[in-house]
A and B are shown apart, each in its own frame.
Chain A
Amino acid sequence: MGCDDVRDLLALYVGGECYDNERIAVEAHVPLCSGCARELDQYREARAALAELADEDVPEKTLKGLSTAVRDEVFRRGRRRVLPFELALRCAAAVMVGLAIGAVAYTVRGGPPAPAPGAAIPEPRAVARPALRSVELPPPSGEPRYHGPRARSEGNFYLPRVEALPVGGEKDF
């Protein structure tokens, strides 16, 4: 299953609405793909924000429809978001600069020295590849991170702030 397929399923996955085979596919893909992992984080944050905005529990079946709007709210709260491909673009730019410098150096020096006649061609070195770690994902119903509005207080000690001091002596009856 590719990234596009997985991303179509992420909202359902966070809402606990996936079929078992879809859930397994998502859980197999996400640990290996940082872009999809970030996307999954955003859905979880959106779900947490949705629950914070609503007076009742999050309606599971409506999550996908509402999550887009809620994500806008999450973004407005000032957290700078890393675009899904931002890291990849930075890496690609660094690689291209490196290749360009290498190409220039190669051209100037005329390529690597040719091996002496009869000399043994060294075996290519094996490149050590890090083993893929298995990352255990929290279950869809796991505890989402809290991004709801903070109380108007310092830390978690509460004292509401007066927003206005109206004059005129009006009273409600």
Chain B
Amino acid sequence: MLASPLLLALGLSAGPQETALEKVEREIVAVIDRLRPSVVQVTASFSIEPGTTLDSLSFSGVVYSEKGHVVTDASGLERAAELTIRAGGKTWRARHIASDRRTGVAVLLSEATGLAPAVFAERPCRPGSTAIAVGNAFGMPGSAGVGTVSGVGRTIVVGARTYTDMIQVSTAVHPGDCGGLVADAKGALIGIVHSAYAAEGPEGLNLLQLFGKNARDLAPVAPVTMGFATPAAWVRFSADRIIRHGRMVRGWAGFTARPIEEAVRAQLGLAEGEGAEVVRVERAGPARRAGLAIRDILVALDGEPVRDLEALRWKIARFEEPATVKAVLLRGGERVTVEMPIEIDPQE
């Protein structure tokens, strides 16, 4: 008699065993369910005359704080007359606090309450890791897709602006997803959706056709897209600065540099990975006033050797007040030390 309930319980629990794939699927579904409350729909209205609306754009945003801050991509907001955010069937007015034009991150402030801020990943993502995107594809709230991180540290040009350190994802992103959330397998934000690249189909005569190569095999007939996201670290950096100052405050030196080729480095007698070649100096920038010139090799800045351009970018961006630092250059084979002013980025 006593054994009967036990046997009954065992019988009820003995279902078909869950496969590894089903387990993965269940966990992905759970992660997406957790992410959805952190994603809002942003609508930007445009007008010429006050009080009228000519057209509007709809995209996505990520809840950044319980105080109503939302982060999104800056390009959709430019010149918008009114902003609203929508989540959970409710709509709130929002105000654009400021944007960081270098990262494309914008911060909105709304009166929304009860929204769940996204959890940020503490470590940078790596190629091959999971990338789950949640946005508002074509206005459909909470649209989600799963893919992988295809690459990191990418440079892209959007709207005649160059964005560096971007994450490339294989996850499908669609119009309306801009500003949406990209998370890892734990559900931590690794970036926000920035843009997508669509390869064009074959056009005209490719020279390889003269050698019997089919144009259709050289370029895809149907567009193939890859998505790009602004990495979490830069999203957090820009958002925190904007919230703290009410505007974007970051250091700026006004030059562009690139890594040195190994052969050149060996000729200059530099250690492996050391130095960066200056390729552009902005006309009205601090670097020009310091005498920095194209083809200078920047060896050290503020007492630290230049080994990693990403680290150098962070170092300069972190300045919150104008300052002057020592820059060591290689110019014509000789070491030169100059006083390099660091100013606050004018965001132009």
A contacts, CB < 8 Å to B: 48, 51-52, 55, 57-58, 141, 143-144, 146, 148, 151, 153-173
Q: Give residues of chain B (50-96) contacting chain A, Cβ–Cβ below 8 Å.
A: 52, 54-59, 73, 75-76, 79
B159 contacts chain A at the CB level, 8 A cutoff: yes
Q: In whole angstroms, how far apart are the Cα atoms of A57 and B46 in the complex? A: 13
B225 CB to closest chain A CB, in angstroms? 9
Q: Are B59 and A146 in contact (CB under 8 A)?
A: no
Q: In whole angstroms, how far apart are the Cα atoms of A141 and B195 in the complex? A: 37
Which residues of the partner chain B approach A52 to less than 8 Å between Cβ atoms?
A: 48
Q: Taking CB as reference atom, which chain B residue is nearest A146?
A: B54
Q: In whole angstroms, how far apart are the Cα atoms of A144 and B178 in the complex? A: 29
Q: Are A160 and B178 in contact (CB under 8 A)?
A: yes
Q: Are A157 and B175 in contact (CB under 8 A)?
A: yes
Q: Taking CB as reference atom, which chain A residue is nearest B44?
A: A158
B344 contacts chain A at the CB level, 8 A cutoff: no
Q: Are A172 and B256 in contact (CB under 8 A)?
A: yes
Q: In whole angstroms, how far apart are the Cα atoms of A127 and B223 in the complex? A: 61
B contacts, CB < 8 Å to A: 46, 48-49, 52, 54-59, 73, 75-76, 79, 102, 136-139, 154-160, 162, 164-165, 173-178, 193-198, 228, 252-259, 279-280, 287, 309-310, 312-313, 316
Q: In whole angstroms, how far apart are the Cα atoms of A48 and B253 in the complex? A: 39
Which residues of the partner chain B approach A166 to less than 8 Å between Cβ atoms?
A: 155-157, 162
- What are 30 A-B contacts with C-beta separation under 8 Å? A48-B48, A141-B49, A146-B55, A148-B55, A153-B176, A156-B56, A157-B57, A157-B59, A158-B59, A158-B76, A160-B75, A160-B76, A160-B195, A161-B158, A162-B198, A165-B155, A165-B197, A166-B156, A166-B157, A166-B162, A170-B164, A170-B279, A171-B155, A171-B257, A171-B258, A171-B309, A172-B162, A172-B256, A173-B257, A173-B287
Q: Are A172 and B164 in contact (CB under 8 A)?
A: yes
Which residues of the partner chain B approach A57 to less than 8 Å between Cβ atoms?
A: 48
Q: Are B257 and A170 in contact (CB under 8 A)?
A: yes
Q: Are A165 and B154 in contact (CB under 8 A)?
A: yes
Which residues of the partner chain A approach B102 to less than 8 Å between Cβ atoms?
A: 172
Q: Contacts A160-B195, A171-B312 given; 12 further ones with Cβ under 8 A? A: A52-B48, A148-B55, A153-B176, A159-B193, A164-B156, A166-B157, A168-B155, A170-B164, A170-B258, A171-B309, A172-B255, A173-B257
Q: Are B175 and A158 in contact (CB under 8 A)?
A: yes
Q: Are B59 and A159 in contact (CB under 8 A)?
A: yes
Q: Taking CB as reference atom, which chain B residue is nearest A142?
A: B49
Which residues of the partner chain A approach B309 to less than 8 Å between Cβ atoms?
A: 169, 171
B227 CB to closest chain A CB, in angstroms? 9
Q: In whole angstroms, how far apart are the Cα atoms of A170 and B136 in the complex? A: 33
B339 CB to closest chain A CB, in angstroms? 16
Q: In whole angstroms, how far apart are the Cα atoms of A95 and B250 in the complex? A: 72
